[in-house]
């Protein structure tokens, strides 16, 4: 590779010198980017900027994204996620280089890493390329400073352009990158127009032979005191038929980001968020996480307690599966299996955290359910293998992917039906599927667009939250976190459902599980927090709690 020249070398050395890695600091790209206490993040963020710019150079100048956020973590944390040109998470093949660069101990070490990586990847540095990185941040106090740090990192790759898209939800930035690289409109206004218009269109396609209008019932949304609440307030006027009340909206002074609120808190603690009160009992509620890429629903069950009926990612996935399957059955004429109008390879992707009852429900529908490790990057990649791939983590990360080839077949069918059978049930079902491809954010899980698809499907089915809760009954489950010396000493396999290191631990877990009816338990190192996570489920709450506790004690005793 031609020497990149003095300007490029100097730019990299200068950036590395601006934000040196403190002795003892260790950054790991983890489940969803680099993440730590906000004031310590500058070195990793600067280097992530360099990686993002290199990624764009590698992809011939295609737009790449970089979001400054720490999602569901406490407000004092911050982090950085890199968005690949397809709108998904950065290719996993680039994570080892990202880790090495984030931990490069000296400016010269960083320079050598970049030069060697550029050579290995066939990247020509110096003049003559048009790398561009779209930037965004959430509402965290360290966000503005870290966005400037990221810009310095991006500009350390000579010729790169950093485009600040503002304060956005993480899925908005993913959507912008995906659309920009597909030559589609990609502003925030375009995003709002697409989701609100396709939502309205889906409502217009609701069969009017079903009584009642569930949409007019109030929906209370917990915005986690984050960016999702602010954006929902912004588009509320365009959602005329929804009676939405936003709590923890993110407005100045209303509350602290993710503090006893937000989808992660609600899903893990199974209690209602701050700001909700006894007179909200029985109302349909939704909760976003701090960067609005997670969604769960819930209902407060009693005026005298904080307990809730949780409708988690597994149930959101199941609702979408039922709706999409119904439309496919109508399009294909449920009885005629041969020469289907729209043959579809339909896949469902879960992780070990999926409640056993949800997996059983989906398999009983005759669906292919596959498992991957935790983390959107793994589920998303697997879902791309299908014509329609639906993935959700129990915590509310998830979306629906439609392959381009499938969408063009669907568009042709809809066009054919509009001339030969306009308004027929088959035509309506094809149009519903098309509207769904526009409403759901196919770049990444999106609390805003996901909530609108849930509301449209509930309206379509004229379902109450009770109907939705009743599709299956979760097995009681419990999650615990265990602080250990080195969480990386736990190595898992089989989509994190089994431990292969340290040896002997899995046998001890299996022995504990055998004591419980419908028992299941697994442990894995967190990729976002310095803990080992324990998940247990069993036939009763007491049993699930006891199984989780006994396995957590095992982990503490062996790795503590
Ligand atoms: C049990 C759990 O909720 N794990 C979360 C959490 O990852 P961990 O690696 O478990 O810390 O954060 C990830 C990023 O938000 C999310 O994808 C994942 O589902
Ligand atoms: Mg998040």
DSSP string, 18-49: HSPPPTT-----TTTSEEEEGGG-HHHHHHHH
Q: How far apart are alpha carbons 499 and 493 in whole angstroms?
A: 6
b/e per residue 164-195 (b: at least 16 CB within 10 A): ebebbbbbbbbbbbbbbbeeeebebeebbebb
Q: Which two tokens stand for residue 35?
A: 């993440």
Contact 196, 317 (CB under 8 A): no
Q: How far apart are alpha carbons 248 and 223 in whole angstroms?
A: 5
Helix (H/G/I), strand (E/B), else coil: 82: strand
CB count, 10 Å around CB of 367? 17
Q: How far apart are alpha carbons 195 and 211 in whole angstroms?
A: 26
Q: Predicted ipTM?
A: 0.97
Q: Give the 3-state secondary structure percentages of the chain, helix then strand then coil, rounded to 5.
A: 45, 20, 40
pLDDT at 3: 66
Distance separating the N- and C-terminal Cα atoms of the chain: 48
Beta-strand pair 388-392/398-402:
antiparallel
b/e per residue 509-537 (b: at least 16 CB within 10 A): beebbeebeebbbbbbbebbbeebbbbbb
Atom of ligand 1 nearest to the CA of 31: 9
Q: How far apart are alpha carbons 7 and 157 in whole angstroms?
A: 10
Nearest to 512 by CA among 556, 558, 543, 551: 551
pLDDT in tens, 341-390: 999 999 999 999 999 999 999 999 999 899 999 988 899 999 999 999 99
- Residue whose Cα lies nearest atom 2 of ligand 1: it is 395
- Closest ligand to Cα 523: 1
Q: How far is CA 412 from CA 405, 406, 421, in A?
A: 11, 10, 13
User: ω into residue 107 within 30 of 0, thus cis?
Assistant: no
pLDDT at 211: 55
DSSP string, 165-199: EEE--HHHHHHHHHHHHTTS--SHHHHHHHHHHHH
Name every protein residue with a CB atom under 6 angstroms from any ligand 1 atom. 31-32, 71-72, 353, 374-376, 393, 395, 397, 526-529, 533
Question: Which residue among 90, 527, 530 is best mutated to probe the pocket of ligand 1, counting the most ligand atoms within 8 A of its Cβ?
Answer: 527
Q: Is 289 annotated as a binding residue?
A: yes
DSSP string, 49-80: HHHHHHHHHHTTT-EEEEEE--TTS-TTEEEE
Q: How far is the CA of 391 from the centre of ligand 1 (A)?
A: 14
Phi, psi angle pair for 516, to nearest 5°: -125, 135
- Residue whose Cα lies nearest atom 12 of ligand 1: it is 528
Contact 299, 285 (CB under 8 A): yes
Q: How far apart are alpha carbons 521 and 480 in whole angstroms?
A: 11
Contact 263, 395 (CB under 8 A): yes
556 burial level (CB within 10 Å; 0-12, 13-18, 19+): middle
Tens place of pLDDT per residue across the chain (560 aa): 456 789 999 999 999 999 999 988 889 887 789 999 999 999 999 999 999 999 999 999 999 999 999 999 999 999 999 999 999 999 999 999 999 999 999 999 999 999 999 999 999 998 777 899 999 999 999 999 999 999 999 999 999 999 999 999 999 999 999 999 999 999 999 999 999 999 999 999 998 766 556 556 799 999 999 999 999 999 999 997 899 999 999 998 899 999 999 999 999 899 999 999 889 999 999 999 999 999 999 999 999 989 999 999 999 999 999 999 999 999 998 655 667 899 999 999 999 999 999 999 999 999 989 999 998 889 999 999 999 999 999 999 999 999 999 999 999 999 999 999 999 999 999 999 999 999 999 999 999 999 999 999 999 999 999 999 999 999 999 999 999 999 999 999 999 999 999 999 999 999 999 999 999 999 999 987 889 999 999 999 999 999 999 999 999 999 98
pTM metric for this prediction: 0.94
- Closest ligand to Cα 263: 2
**Residues classed as catalytic:** 71
Q: How far apart are alpha carbons 455 and 199 in whole angstroms?
A: 9
């Amino acid at each position: 590779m031609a020497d990149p020249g003095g300007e490029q070398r100097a730019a990299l050395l200068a950036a590395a010198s601006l934000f040196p890695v403190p002795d003892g600091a260790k950054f790991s790209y983890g489940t969803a980017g680099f993440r730590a206490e906000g004031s310590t993040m500058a070195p990793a963020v600067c280097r992530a900027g360099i990686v993002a710019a290199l990624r764009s150079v590698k992809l011939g100048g295609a737009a790449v994204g970089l979001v400054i956020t720490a999602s569901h973590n406490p407000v004092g944390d911050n982090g950085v996620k890199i968005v690949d040109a397809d709108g998904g998470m950065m290719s996993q093949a680039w994570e080892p280089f990202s880790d090495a660069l984030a931990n490069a101990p000296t400016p010269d070490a960083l320079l050598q890493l970049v030069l060697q990586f550029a050579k290995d990847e066939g990247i020509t540095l110096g003049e003559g390329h048009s790398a561009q990185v779209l930037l965004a941040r959430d509402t965290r106090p360290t966000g503005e400073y870290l966005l400037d740090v990221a810009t310095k990192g991006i500009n350390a790759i000579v010729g790169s352009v950093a485009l600040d898209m503002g304060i956005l939800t993480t899925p908005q930035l993913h959507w912008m990158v995906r659309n920009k690289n597909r030559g589609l409109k990609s502003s925030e206004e375009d995003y709002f127009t697409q989701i609100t218009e396709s939502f309205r269109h889906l409502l217009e396609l609701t069969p009017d032979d079903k009584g009642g209008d569930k949409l007019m019932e109030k929906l209370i949304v917990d915005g986690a005191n984050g960016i999702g609440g602010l954006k929902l307030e912004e588009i509320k006027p365009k959602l005329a038929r929804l009676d939405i009340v936003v709590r923890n909206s993110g407005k100045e002074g209303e509350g602290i980001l993710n503090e006893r609120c937000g989808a992660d808190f609600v899903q893990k603690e199974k209690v209602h968020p701050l700001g909700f009160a006894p007179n909200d009992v029985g109302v349909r509620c939704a909760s976003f996480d701090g960067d609005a890429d997670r969604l769960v629903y819930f209902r407060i069950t009693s005026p005298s307690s904080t307990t809730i009926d949780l409708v988690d990612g597994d149930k959101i996935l199941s609702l979408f599966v039922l709706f999409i399957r119904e439309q496919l059955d109508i399009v294909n004429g449920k009885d005629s299996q041969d020469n289907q109008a729209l043959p579809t390879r339909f896949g469902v992707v879960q992780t070990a955290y999926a409640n056993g009852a949800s997996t059983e429900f989906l398999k009983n529908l005759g669906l292919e359910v596959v498992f991957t490790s935790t983390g959107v990057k793994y589920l998303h990649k697997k879902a791309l293998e299908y014509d329609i791939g639906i993935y959700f983590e129990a915590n509310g990360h998830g979306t629906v992917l439609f392959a381009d080839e499938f969408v063009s077949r669907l568009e042709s069918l809809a066009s054919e039906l509009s001339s030969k059978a306009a308004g027929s049930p088959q035509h309506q079902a094809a149009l519903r599927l098309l509207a769904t491809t526009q409403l759901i954010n196919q770049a990444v899980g999106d609390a805003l667009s996901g909530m609108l698809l849930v509301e449209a499907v509930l309206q379509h089915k004229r379902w109450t939250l009770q109907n939705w809760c009743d599709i299956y009954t979760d097995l009681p489950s419990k999650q615990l976190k265990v602080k250990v010396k080195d969480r990386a000493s736990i190595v898992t396999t089989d989509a994190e459902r089994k431990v292969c290191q340290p040896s002997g631990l899995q046998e001890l877990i299996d022995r504990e599980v055998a004591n419980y009816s419908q028992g299941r338990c697994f442990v894995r190192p967190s990729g976002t927090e310095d803990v080992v996570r324990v998940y247990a489920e069993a036939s009763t709450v007491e049993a699930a709690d006891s199984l989780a506790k006994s396995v957590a004690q095992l982990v503490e005793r062996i790795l503590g």
